[in-house]
Structure 1
Amino acid sequence: MSAPSPDAPLFAPTAAAAAAVVTVPPPLPPSAPVPPFAPGGLPSASALREPAGYRTKYMLASIGLFLATFAPSLGGLAVKVQSLVPLEQAGTVLGVVTGIGGLFAIVTQPLIGRLSDRTRSRHGMRKPWIIAGTIGTFLSLLVIPLAPSVLVLAVGWSGVQFFLNVVQAGLTATVADQVPEARRGRVAGMVGATAPIGIVLGAVGLTALPNDLLRMGIPAVIGLVAGLFFAFTLKDRVLRSAPEPFQVKTFLAAFVFNPLKHRELGWAWLTKAMFVFGYASVVTYTPLYLASSFGMSEVAEQLRFNLWLTLTMTSFNILFAFVGGAFSDRLGRRRVFVSTGAVIASAGVLLFALAPQFGVSTGLVALLVAQALIGMGGGLFLAVDMALCIEVLPDRDQLAKDLGVLNTANVLPVAFGPFLAGLVFIPVGDSLFGAGYATWFASAAVVSLVGGLLVYRIKNVR
């Protein structure tokens, strides 16, 4: 991205920014680093903690953005799809919509990570991207409730996936920019708790608000305000030296890394991707699962029980995220928390798959127990995983790029898991066993368990 002059607006329109990515302007005059940054723009070795207020504002921004985007993924998309196609087609259509959105999500974080690492705005390296992504996410969310067809719904969700990952690339990089290494587990634990809080608020909104426009629109406004507040109050890292001239080869490198050269990063990526594949498997399809396996044909009934499931999962997730992050820092260990979290969460996903075997009433109780286990395991894993991933990054000068690559391990399973479920696992499971959704959840549980155990292939982190 070309850097604006000192008098230029904070950010340019997206199209203009995209057109300028292959040019590099003359170097900007060196600017004084913002405390607690050292001259290189990274946290000073003497810094004992992150800047005052950073953690609170980061949490608020994350909660707002998660609220805005989990509202559709928790059930809003499933409900909207049921209004566009018959129930027997809903699983496949939902998978296609999320899969198309996933194509945009996959490329965004590594690309924006690379551009963020090279951004020379006097306002900072991350701030312009956070602002542009927040606004784009808001506008895209408004398309979903107004979509008159599956095609328009797919366009709206694709926009959400693209712009949300623009925001996340900038937000995630600020953790490495702003937080000393010794406090990253604690901060990561608090940040990990923001997702379940956003999930709960999104589920409450889905249940309480009377129509699709309000279910999507109100969370979108909250996300807009929270994201912009964080960006405009951020004392951002400023890049003081000019990057090398942009090349296509460098651009493409934003999407990949060499797992043979950077083995620790490769194992961290695979561990995260496989865990998230299972952990996220129940979210998108829960309303359709309730309709097909438990006889909940009414949308309002699906959303009400989904709220209870969400509250159960979130309560345990928040508790174990805080506890896991704090104890990880105190003990100086990461891998045991990651692997233990994966085992517990995988057991929960497997129970989710088996729940219909207990009958309707007992099966619904089993779903609640399963969500408690998923919350426990997810809290432990996700709280510590961010700190572990930062510790295995190979190049401190390419923080956002490498974090963007790692974040594709979040994006790929969430985006393409429902796609694979709708087009492969559920139809095959229905044909072979008469239990398509159970087949999907059980398969996802096995993948998640294996992924969590692979963390022990990382040797340079305890």
Structure 2
Amino acid sequence: MMLLTPVLVTLALRVAQIVPESERAGALGQVLSLGAVLALLVNPVVGGLSDRTTSRFGRRRPWLLGGALTALIGLVVVADGGNIPTLMLGWALAQLGGTPALTAVTAGVPDFIPAHQQARASGIIGMTTSIAMIGGSLLASAFSTVLSVAFIVPALIAVTGVIVLCCVIDDAPARTGQFGRYTFKEFLRSFWVSPRKHPDFAWNFVGRFLCFVGIAAATSYQAYYLMDKVGIAEDKVASKMLVGMACMVAAIVVGSVLGGQLSDRFGRRKVYVMASAVVIGAGLALLALGDSYGMYLVAITVFGFGEGVYLSVDVALAAAVLPDPANSAKDMGVLNIGNALPQSLVPIIAPALLAIGGGTENYGAFFLFGAVAACLGALAVQLVRSVK
């Protein structure tokens, strides 16, 4: 909720308050892309450091709590920001804090969950993401007239949740001497897993990257899509998006539960990841073709079901192709580049796609680009050989 609410709603609304209409897509891209680049760089590094953490508080707790508190500070800066550089600074700090916390949570799946239950656990994680979406949209709608509060309240809720998680997990520290010294060479290795030695890991990374290009396309520009193509007034966008998020979240919950249970029951991962990527692409295609609020709701529901199945099974697939369980956080951090990098690239590419044909509102080209990427992601997952 801490990071999803700004990406989905509040950052776009804050940028719209600061810059002219003709500049807002590019300005939003600057803010989102800087934060995503930092998340991209931090993800595997923090994963490697977390794997090595010998603190008596465990390997994951220090990064969970420290990251969440840092992200809270960054969002306070965003909430008070009155210009684009300040928003960029605050959002960068929020990503620098939120990324270690998310990396620690993701590493918890291979750390704490048996292999035969990992898809189900991933589905539960996907459901909490969905709850965060609807909760964040609800808060954005409730505080749309006092937008700064809509940044801070979700962050406080997230910090509270992290504190509870830190209290209940059985998180043991790394054994002293288990890992070598963290050198600059090791830092560089944080960003690399050999595709020659671990081809299934590499293909899963490619598939994840392409699917998250589609997901980023759908989530980053919904507010402007509703204003520019559907014709929703700016002061009504938050409430209209709340209804859209409710439809999407309901579909994500159904997809998460169904995908996780079926995947665990039949012991298959790839077919569910591939099918869900295609459904994500179909939802994006409907967004590209639609120009009414009703069509938006249909499209976002289809997209949500595909995303729900994808999120419930892809983490389990990723856990199955990790090169070394002892380095789970580091390797999951490398995989997480696959979902962090699109959050940087899509906002950079978006203005050019939106400008196709003249103007700044070619959402058809933009969403079709995301649809094609998601479908190509399904093809990449097909090349994973060691997992059914």
Q: Normalised by the size of structure 2, how large is the TM-score? A: 0.97
Tell me how far apart the structure 2 counterparts of residues 128 and 91 of structure 1 sit (CA, whole Å): 36
Which residue in the other structure is 1:425 paired with? Answer: 353
Specify which of 411, 415, 427 is matched with residue 344 of structure 2. 415
Asked if residue 317 in structure 1 is aligned to residue 246 in structure 2, the reply is no
Aligned match of 2:286 in 339, 351, 354? Answer: 351
Superimposed CA distance per residue, residues 31-82 of structure 1 (whole angstroms, 9 cap, x where no aligned partner): xxxxxxxxxxxxxxxxxxxxxxxxxxxxxxxxxxxx1212211110110011
Q: How does 1:366-377 map to 2 (within 5 A)?
A: 366-377=295-306
Counterparts in 2 of 1:301 and 1:327: CA distance versus 1, 3 Å: same
Report the CA distance shift for 1:287/1:389 in structure 2 as closer, same or farther (over 3 A): same
Name the residue aligned to 1:272.
208
**Are the counterparts in 2 of residues 95 and 421 from structure 1 also a CA contact under 8 Å?**
yes
Tell me, in whole angstroms, the C-alpha distance in 2 between the residues paired with 1:334 and 1:246.
34
RMSD: 1.3
Give how far 1:415 is off. Answer: 2.8
| Displacement after TM superposition at 1:289 (Å) | 1.3
Q: What does the per-residue CA deviation read over 1:169-204, in whole Å, with 9 as the maximum and x for residues that have no partner?
A: 111112211111111111111111111110000011
1:435 offset after TM fit, Å? 4.7
Shift of 1:430: 4.2
SS at match of 2:338: helix
Deviation at 1:143, TM superposition (A): 1.2
Q: Measure the CA separation in 2 of the matches of 1:109 and 1:183.
A: 25
SS in 2 for 1:219: helix
Match of 1:230 among 155, 162, 165: 165
Deviation per CA, 1:345-389: give whole Å up to 9, x if none: 111101101112xxxxxx221111101110111111110000000
For residues 436 and 291 of structure 1, what CA distance do their matches in structure 2 show?
Answer: 13
* Partner of residue 132, structure 2: 198
Higher helix fraction (1 or 2): 2
Deviations 1:203-241 (A, max 9, x none): 111111131121111111111111122113322022223
Kept in 1, the 8 Å contact 2:110–2:325? The answer is no
Match of 2:385, as an amino acid? K
> AA paired with 2:135?
L
What does residue 72 of structure 1 align with? 6
Q: Secondary structure at the match of 2:2?
A: helix
C-alpha distance in 2 between matches for 1:89 and 1:185: 42
Structure having greater relative contact order (Cα 8 Å, sep ≥ 6): 2
> 2:219 maps to which residue?
283
Whole-Å separation in 1 of the counterparts to 2:38 and 2:369: 26
The residue aligned with 1:244 is 180
Q: Distance in 2 between matches of 1:368 and 1:68?
A: 24
Give the SS at the match of 2:171: coil
What is the Cα deviation at residue 434 of structure 1?
7.4
Q: In the comparison of the two structures, how many residue pairs are matched?
A: 386
- Give the greater-gyration-radius structure (CA): 1
Equivalents in 1 of 2:42, 2:226: separation in Å?
33
The answer to whether the 8 A contact 1:98-1:416 is kept is no
Q: Which residue number corresponds to residue 323 of structure 2?
A: 394
TM-superposed CA distance for 1:126, in Å, is 1.0
CA displacement 1:107-126 (0-9 Å, x = unmatched): 11100001011111122111
Deviation >3 Å, runs of 4+:
none
Identity of aligned residues (%): 30
1:109–1:404: 8 Å Cα contact kept in structure 2? yes
**Cα deviation 1:243-266 (Å, max 9, x = unaligned):** 212221111100122212210000
Partner in structure 1 of residue 230 of structure 2: 294
Q: Which residue of 2 aligns with 1:153?
A: 87
- Distance in 2 between residues matched to 1:254 and 1:434, nearest whole Å: 39
Indicate yes or no: 2:113 matched with 1:179.
yes
Whichever residue aligns with residue 97 of structure 2, its letter is F
Larger CA deviation: 235-244 vs 213-222: 235-244
Q: For residues 179 and 282 of structure 1, what CA distance do their matches in structure 2 show? A: 31
* 1:281–1:441 contact (8 Å) kept in structure 2: yes
Question: What residue is the counterpart of 2:103 in the other structure?
Answer: 169
Structure 2: distance between partners of 1:102 and 1:70: 13
Give the secondary structure class of the aligned counterpart of 2:181. Answer: coil
Task: Name the amino acid aligned to 1:187.
Answer: A
- Aligned AA (1:281): A
8 A Cα contact 2:141 2:238, kept in partner: yes
* Matching residue's letter, 2:52: R
Q: Name the aligned partner's letter for residue 369 of structure 2.
A: S
